[in-house]
Chains A and B, each alone.
Chain A
Amino acid sequence: MELAAAKMIGAGLACIALVGAGIGIGNVFGSYLSGALRNPGAAATQTTNLLLGFALCEATGLFGLVIALLILFAF
């Protein structure tokens, strides 16, 4: 296979990382909402943890993007 074509396929495959990030972010906000609706009093105290969980989750998906960029431009 040609190198250029293989690079494109590899970069595309690296974007599968977004599946996990999507599930993770959905989980973070879903769990927060269900927790917040059960105990609205405690909801405001947990926004820091919410945003932190969101950022940590999102980063794993973005590592996939970085790998894709590395495959496309660095090699």
Chain B
Amino acid sequence: MNLNPMEQFAIKPLVAQPLFQIGGHNIYFTNQALLMMIVAAASALFLSLAVKPGRLVPSRAQSMAEISYEFVANMIHSATGEDGLKFFPFVFTLFMFVLCSNFFGMVPGSFTVTSQIAVTFALALFVVAMVVVVGFMKHGLGFLKLFVPHAPWYLLILLIPIEVISFLTRPISLSVRLFANMLAGHTMLAVFGGFVVALGAAGGALSVLSVAPMALIVGILLLELLVAFLQAYVFAILTCIYLNEALHLHDQH
């Protein structure tokens, strides 16, 4: 039996035939692509079907959709103020995609899209690129004032490079946070799962002991559900904070 805890992150082509070629690279339809499609379709379908009836007294599905809408709207409003709300579709899509990928990854035997650095880095790069574009569109070259904090000039010599570096590492920290959280959580679950299997196969009194890591897995699974939500929330709120900086520079909204 293969008990390698990293095996769950392997990307496998589902169709042996490559779909097409880009620059000599074969592009396959992989389990990751399938899961991303499922996540995108499921979240879009759920949200649009749940609010379709538009009842005054919402059903359970409708109130779930409404709660998530209000949650993100409040988050954007508190982090960026009134004029951040025009970015609501962007932040809401990001939040729902990350949240649903995290939750779909919790289903045993499925695949966690967000445990791939390629996916999270693409998302983070998209966020930071948009922040830069929005900042330059709104302030022109004045956007560069973001890198100049209010400080005496002799401190600025030190502070400006620090600000620039901290801005440039944002896509890395944003993506690695999500990726590493998902990776660490799922690896931990797989390692404890390995304990259950190894103890169960040991036979005799040791097999009975395998209940202990099993109970632990249930606890960790609950913790992972919290982390799955928390990371989606953190990804969205950091997007809002970056947007706020681009929209308002150093002023509070």
Which of B78, B79, B176, B233 is close to A59, meaning CB atoms less than 8 Å apart?
A: B176
Which of B78, B79, B181, B233 is close to A58, meaning CB atoms less than 8 Å apart?
A: B181
Are the CB atoms of A52 and B184 closer together than 8 Å? Answer: no
Which of A48, A52, A62, A69 is close to B181, meaning CB atoms less than 8 Å apart?
A: A62
Tell me if A51 is interfacial: C-beta within 8 Å of chain B.
yes
Bin the interface of chain B by size: 10 to 19
Contact flags (1/0) for A38-69 with B, using CB distance below 8 Å? 00000000001001101100110011011001
Are the CB atoms of A55 and B184 closer together than 8 Å? Answer: no
Tell me if B38 is interfacial: C-beta within 8 Å of chain A.
no
Which of B79, B180, B237 is close to A63, meaning CB atoms less than 8 Å apart?
A: B180
Q: A55-B234, A62-B184, A63-B180 are in contact. Are A48 and B78 (CB under 8 A)?
A: yes
Are the CB atoms of A55 and B231 closer together than 8 Å? Answer: yes
Are the CB atoms of A59 and B237 closer together than 8 Å? Answer: no
7 closest A-B pairs by CB: A62-B180, A55-B234, A59-B177, A65-B180, A66-B180, A65-B184, A66-B176
Bound together, the chains give a CA A38 to CA B236 distance in angstroms of 30
Tell me if B230 is interfacial: C-beta within 8 Å of chain A.
yes
Bound together, the chains give a CA A51 to CA B238 distance in angstroms of 11
